[in-house]
Amino acid sequence: MNDQRAGSPADPTEPVRPVLRLSGVNKSFGPVHVLHDVDLAVRPGEVTALVGDNGAGKSTLVKCIAGIHPVDGGSIHFDGEPVRITSPKDAADLGIEVVYQDLALADNLDIVQNMFLGRERTRGGLLDETDMERAARDTLASLSVRTVASVRTPVSALSGGQRQTVAIAKAVLWNSRVVLLDEPTAALGVAQTRQVLDLVRRLAERGLGVVLISHNMNDVFEVADRIATLYLGRLVAELPTRDTTHAQVVELITAGRSGDLGLPRAENVAL
């Protein structure tokens, strides 16, 4: 594991089989080529941090996995099986949950209604509000949300951090296999950041594959098992955290290479 090097996520000597594996994923928005041949493996029980500069393509990659954007090329394997994810529902059915950077909550609905959106529980054809409210309250309680007066508060009345917590709780509520969090702590205070990071660890301990996107290197080094770096839409390195240093990661983010890590020199110059 220590000799793990960039660009070989599918190395057969790896101890844990990835639950989610992307190979050669490409994505363009019209003329803008955003993702170039991205290979990424998400292993159960591990936190993979996805880092990169603004506009590197992190959110785009997450949205491709979530079925928001169709991929232009490349393949996605889930549990070793090739899968096609063409809609958010496909992703949810596989057990992939996403906390989006631009939070996807409906302002006019309350917390419970948002957490169960698209997967409402029913009894006799009618919504089972009681059951949903209880489940939502239990999940939120486990996330230690202290500042919300009621789970029936409309989301429009929540602060940015509270919305963030609801979005995370929404992803945690489901019995998911992979959770992707796109900058979940960006809007949070110190205490809530702490809770989210703890939660991220706990999810991994439960055997979920977790992908955490963050610009905060301290957070990344604290919770991540592996650090994957995107540079201008290319995945230039995927390294175990314990084999890397802050300086290396920062260099990878800003220049796409660090020493013999990352892009080969020639291609780097070509870029």
Partner 1 sequence: MTQLSPNSSSGEERTEPTDGFAIDTTRRTTREALGDYVARLRGGQLGALPALLGLLTLFVVFTVLSDRFLTLGNLANLLGQGAGIVVIAMGLVFVLLLGDIDLSAGTASGVAASVLALHLVNNGNLLGAMGTAVFLLFCGAIVLAVVLALMARLWIGAGLATLGLLLVVLGVPANPWLEILLAVCVGTAIGCLTGFLVARVGIPAFVVTLALFLAWGGVVLQFVGVGGTLGLRDDVLFAVANGSLPVWGSWLFALVAVLGYVALGWGRHLRQVRAGVVTAPTPLVLGKLGAVVLLALVGTWLLTLNRSPNDQTVIAGVPYVVPIVLVLLVLGTLVLDRTRYGRHIYAVGGNREAARRAGIDVVKIRMSVFVVCSTVAAIGAVIYSSKVGSVDPQAGGGNTLLFAVGAAVIGGTSLFGGRGRLRDAVIGGTVIATIDNGLGLLGQPAAVVSIVTGVVLLLAASVDAVSRRRAAAVGR
Ligand X SMILES: Nc1ncnc2c1ncn2[C@@H]1O[C@H](COP(=O)(O)OP(=O)(O)OP(=O)(O)O)[C@@H](O)[C@H]1O
Closest CB 214 distance from partner 1, rounded Å: 19
Would you count residue 83 as binding partner 1 (CB under 8 A)? no
The β-bridge partners of 181 are 99, 212
Would you count residue 165 as binding Mg ion (CB under 5 A)? no
3-state secondary structure of 171: helix
Taking residues 214 to 253 in sequence order and writing x for each that binds ligand X by CB under 6 A, - otherwise, the string is: ----------------------------------------
* Near ligand X by CB under 6 A: residue from 10, 11, 29, 93: 29
Would you count residue 10 as binding partner 1 (CB under 8 A)? no
Would you count residue 143 as binding partner 1 (CB under 8 A)? yes
- Angle formed at CA 170 by CA 123 and CA 218, multiple of 5 degrees: 165
Contact (Cβ atoms closer than 8 angstroms) between residue 121 and residue 128: yes
Nearer to partner 1, 25 or 173 (CB): 173
Would you count residue 98 as binding partner 1 (CB under 8 A)? yes
Q: Kind and range of the H or E element at 34?
A: strand 32-42
Would you count residue 193 as binding Mg ion (CB under 5 A)? no
Distance between CA atoms of residues 40 and 234, nearest Å: 11
Nearer to Mg ion, 133 or 183 (CB): 183
Would you count residue 32 as binding ligand X (CB under 6 A)? yes
Q: Is 30 left (phi over 0), alpha (psi -120 to 50) or beta?
A: left
Q: For residue 52, which phi and psi values (nearest 5 degrees)?
A: 160, 160
Q: Kind and range of the H or E element at 98?
A: strand 96-99
Taking residues 60 to 99 in sequence order and writing x for each that binds ligand X by CB under 6 A, - otherwise, the string is: x---------------------------------------
Distance between CA atoms of residues 246 and 50, nearest Å: 14
Residue 54 binding result from partner 1, Mg ion, ligand X, none, given CB thresholds of 5 to 8 Å by partner type: ligand X
- What's at 111, amino acid-wise? I
Task: List contacts with Mg ion (CB under 5 A).
Answer: 58-59, 101
